[in-house]
Structure 1
Amino acid sequence: MVVSFSVSKPGKVPLVCVAYAPDPGHLFCRPYEPEEPEEPVPAAVPVVVSARDVASLMVEGSGITRQPPGTTARVDMDLIAYTDPSTRSLSTTVAGTLVEVEATPASYHWDWGDATTTTTTSPGAPWPHQTVTHRYHHPQTGVHLTLTTTWTARYRPQDGTWHDVQGTVTTTQQSDTFDLVATTTHLTDHAEHTQGH
């Protein structure tokens, strides 16, 4: 039989003693040492990615392609414009945690450089399946297209679940400049020309 008890006197170090039967007259004592309290486990830092964080990762817009290409475009003819609607895969580190970010275009605002604009959810497409076009009516030099793309985004910590980013992100870019030229039509009498008249 084992009996365990503590002995404590004012001003003295408390003792913890153990008596073993059948000879309880012998005590084995040691100074009482209180158990160290367990250190609390720090709470996990929540990983949050803001729209501003995503904007800092978006170094490029969705791109601008114009048809016909080149340094000139004709007035009174449709100009075709389109962009890349692909989702961007990005990454960043928040509180020491690797985070995946995906940004997807949601809408497109085209400024045609002649005081007119078009806003659409279509990224456009090349000829002959074009969906975004514009027709100029006056010659002009140094024209460029400006595209503002609005993106939605989501993120997930490494091996975690996806979360939507609150708010949206915008990117803005410009095309190379080009000149608008008018088409001049000359009427000729081919028959008289061949006869030398």
Structure 2
Amino acid sequence: MNGGEWSCTPHPDSCEAGSGEQVSATGDVFNINNSTGSGEPVEGVTQRGTRIDNETGETEDLGIRCALPGTPEYEEAPPVVITVTREDFARMPIEPLQASAGPAEGWLPVHMTNVLHTDAETQELNTELIDTPVAIRATPVSFHWDLGDGNTITTTNPGEPYPSEQVSATYSHEGWYDITLTTTFSGQFSVAGGEWQDIDGTIEITSDPVPIYSKSLESNLVNTDSPVDENGDPWKPERTPETEGPKDPDARHRTI
């Protein structure tokens, strides 16, 4: 020390500060002053935590802790806190839900109830962040149906197959329409088998559209001299610009 004087106080959350001691020295002579009177520091391992942003690589100092003997933390290396952001969640290969609409034949009469439903199962995926296994859980929480004619429905109900009409709609005009389902997912993550933690924010995933033909069943004159295609569907015409359904002038958004 060459006769110099110095003093330091351990970090208040460290093991060395467990007795409130202050270490000082004059020259080569050490002095310990205890503000609590116990005279002994806490036995343990002082650890510093760091949070790492998985996208930018930036680090954040989480401070000091004292890991006591007999606890799992005592044997661990200094902790690295892993978090999963909404952006991480959005990059996961979450499967779009299968949208189901209308009869299996792909057409229905104008003004007939069109039943909408999907199988809203939770998906679980696995990945690694900083060489640590991380499980991601994606749960459907909201469903937005676009009927293709300007009418839309938003609901937290995934619906059920016919004869249920919990989530349903009708068409007012004849023509082809695409029904599109967009699902909102909330997320959770688990690091190395630990407890599930919520991911801040939600993501939206759009399913493949379901084409359906809305058929007017009004009587029409037909040319009896024209050959009948016995293998064709008499109710569904070929999809062309001329057979596309018009927009509903009274279209509206419903929340169910």
Identify whether the pair has TM-score above 0.5, normalized to the shorter chain.
yes
Structure 1 equivalent of residue 188 of structure 2: 154
Which runs of 4 or more aligned residues in structure 1 lie more than 6 Å from their structure 2 counterparts after TM superposition?
Answer: none
- If asked which structure has higher relative contact order (CA below 8 Å, sep 6+), I would say 1
**TM-score of the two chains, using structure 2 as the length reference:** 0.53
Structure 1 equivalent of residue 151 of structure 2: 116
Q: Distance in 1 between matches of 2:136 and 2:172?
A: 43
Alignment deviations for residues 111-133 of structure 1 (CA, whole Å, 9 cap, x no partner): 00001100000000011223110
**Paired residue secondary structure (1:70):** coil
**Where do 5+ consecutive residues of structure 2 fail to align?**
1-46, 49-76, 221-256
**Paired residue secondary structure (1:167):** strand
AA of the residue aligned to 1:133: S
Paired-residue identity, %: 32
AA of the residue aligned to 1:86: E
Structure 2 equivalent of residue 50 of structure 1: 85
| 1:150 shift after superposition | 0.6
- Cα separation, partners in 2 of 1:71 and 1:128, compared to 1, 3 Å: closer
Indicate the larger mover: 175-184 or 163-172: 175-184
Q: Does 1:65 align with 2:100?
A: yes
**Paired residue secondary structure (1:165):** strand
Structure 2 equivalent of residue 178 of structure 1: 212
Paired residues, number = 146
Alignment deviations for residues 143-166 of structure 1 (CA, whole Å, 9 cap, x no partner): 111111111111111121211000
Alignment RMSD:
1.9
Q: Distance in 2 between matches of 1:185 and 1:126?
A: 30
Alignment deviations for residues 21-66 of structure 1 (CA, whole Å, 9 cap, x no partner): xxxxxxxxxxxxxxxxxxx987332111112222222342121012
Could you tell me whether the CA contact under 8 Å between 1:108 and 1:120 is conserved in 2? yes
Q: Distance in 2 between matches of 1:175 and 1:68?
A: 15
Q: Distance in 2 between matches of 1:90 and 1:51?
A: 15
Q: Distance in 2 between matches of 1:161 and 1:113?
A: 42
Structure 1 equivalent of residue 126 of structure 2: 91
| 1:185 shift after superposition | 4.9
Could you tell me whether the CA contact under 8 Å between 2:102 and 2:212 is conserved in 1? no
Q: Distance in 1 between matches of 2:181 and 2:93?
A: 15
Q: Distance in 1 between matches of 2:184 and 2:93?
A: 12
- Cα separation, partners in 2 of 1:104 and 1:92, compared to 1, 3 Å: same
Q: Distance in 2 between matches of 1:72 and 1:127?
A: 15
**Paired residue secondary structure (2:80):** coil
The structure that has the greater radius of gyration is 1
**Paired residue secondary structure (1:118):** strand
Could you tell me whether the CA contact under 8 Å between 1:67 and 1:126 is conserved in 2? no
**Where do 5+ consecutive residues of structure 1 fail to align?**
1-39, 187-197
Q: Does 1:131 align with 2:184?
A: no
Could you tell me whether the CA contact under 8 Å between 1:58 and 1:171 is conserved in 2? no
